[in-house]
Chains A and B, each alone.
Chain A
Amino acid sequence: MAGGVLLEVRDLTLRFGGITALGGIDLSIAEGETLAVIGPNGSGKTSLFNCVTGLYRPTSGSIALGGESLLGLSPDRVTARGVARTFQNLRLFLHMTVLDNLMLGRHLHFRKSLLDAALRLRGEELRHRARVEEIIEFLDLEAWRDSRVAGCSYGVQKRVEMGRALATEPRLLLLDEPVSGLTAEEKEEVSYWINEIRGRFGVTVLLVEHDLRVASRLSQRMVVLDRGLKLTEGTPEEVQRHPGVIRAYLGDQ
């Protein structure tokens, strides 16, 4: 694996009232790596994401990106440091077009001048539009560019969500269940794109996934969570052999 450690999470604990959502999680991702976090519902996967992106304030522990702590930063500052995410149940801006959703991903990089905005000077807009078009082309979204997101199919919405996160030019991309609710065919497509993102945009990916097959094919390493605790960690093969995983997770098979 290339590069040093990008994201370093140490002893991360999150409690709501009496419930412990995360109990001392350690994990680290190297630059350029794809790490999958798996586990059943309620195991704390999404809570982990919310802590990293600043939506939740952890009870204790540390989170650092490239050596700098992310603790206490508001979500938009975290994104400005280079962490982007998608949401499990899609949080798109339903009243905006696909294009506008992606342009919003560029918001961070806009030179914000009220005067330009008021006078309709749109140099910045055009500059960022060029970047967004690259993403539109990459994700095959040309046909939906000017459609309202609310009217697009679920598969397209998932892609827009991914594209929007990509538009922020992240160093670390957090994908929350990117293939849930897709058909096997769509799953293949999305898997292809996730793989490509790493190659083409040089982005490190942290993935939360329910679907063990997809997760193990996409990632180099996996972390298994169960009820807020880290059950095990290792290569997909190692993880699949772990008895606890088989019991808690693959009981079906």
Chain B
Amino acid sequence: MDLVESYREELRFARKPLGRALLILLLVAAALLPWWGPRAWLTRASLVWLFAVGVIGQNLLIGYAGLISFGQAGFLAIGAYTFGHLRIIGVPFPLALAGAGGAAGLAGWLVGFPSLRLKGPYLAIATLGFGTATYQIFANVEWLSGGRAGLAIPPLQAPFGLLRDTWVYLVYYAIFLLFTGTAYNLISSYLGRAWVAVRDSDIAAESMGVSLARTKLLAFAISSFYTGVSGALMAQYLGHLEPQAFNISESMNFFVAVIVGGLASVEGSIFGAAFVVLVPALLGDLRWAVPVLFGSAILSVLILEPLGLAGLWLKTRLYFRLWPFR
């Protein structure tokens, strides 16, 4: 039994000392992956981090605010291209990243307006339209997409004599931590509460003084900020941008990650991102079977555990907490 002595203490991030120690250990271990893990997997791990940022963003929208978007690829593209252009004119990495997030966030805020009127599948189609339109704009407007040759993005230079892979990993990991931490903070704030309220009963939320417009638009803006940053990281990762990289199947990947990981769960989003990145890679040698196994994995996860991987994780945690007595 742990006693909470003050309300301030209750608001802390990880309250129990043991939990905090384990968390730090895990975080440090992940940070040191370049020094103990197989080198070949480093880029794949970076891909997980950059995906996780986007999936968390998507989950804030679907899982917390209860709004659906099939247009994530559009925000991804806006983030990636903004980042690319900023980097090319010499803007430093962090600022370019913020610019990418900002541009995507602005787009998200605008796309949010239909969400004030549309629900469920109808909203999904409207956002799908946004994704398609964004794709077509980048595919057809040459000064945006860099024309035939595409947009080449200057690579990150590694300091302190680190290998570039290592440096990219560390930078991506740090950004991932920043955004994950922020997501935890947001969902435990007044805003997170308002999102859940709007999701559970928008009429009641409105009657309690929550502005639906403001809350939903913020959800879209923040979610697309995350997605935009994820797109920027993707751009840096690829070093080269072409509109084809942001088609509808990219949106679907995010969607699957959210559901497989678990709705309304930040840690679930991380599992989900790892799932969509790592499972196809692990199954890589099976070739034709990749989609089949990927699909079966989705089916079995959902049939066995509708709360997604996060639900599985929760059960495991519960099991170990009660372990000697069970």
Q: CB within 8 Å of B: which residues of A?
A: 53, 55, 74-76, 79-80, 84-85, 87, 91-96, 100, 103-105, 107-108, 110, 112, 114, 116-120, 122, 124-126, 129, 164-165, 168
Contact = CB atoms under 8 A, between A and B. Distances in A.
A125 B11 contact: yes
A197 B285 CA distance: 70
A104 to B, nearest CB: 5
A119 B207 contact: no
Contact of A93 (B13, B182, B196): B196
Best-surrounded residue of A85, A87, A112 (most CB of chain B within 10 A):
A112
B208 A79 contact: yes
B190 A125 contact: yes
Contacts of A114: 191, 218
Interface string B175-219: 000000010011011111110110011011111111111000010
Given A94-B200, A119-B185, A129-B7, A108 B193 contact: no
A53 B182 CA distance: 35
A220 B192 CA distance: 41
B117 interface: no
Given A103-B193, A107-B190, A107-B194, A120 B206 contact: no
B90 to A, nearest CB: 28
A122 B11 contact: yes
B204 A92 contact: yes
- How many B residues are at the interface, by size bracket? 20 to 34
B207 A104 contact: no
Contacts of A119: 185
Best-surrounded residue of B185, B204, B211 (most CB of chain A within 10 A):
B204
Contact of A76 (B189, B191, B201, B210): B210
B209 A55 contact: no
B201 A91 contact: yes
Given A95-B200, A117-B186, A117-B190, A107 B8 contact: no
Contacts of B200: 93-96
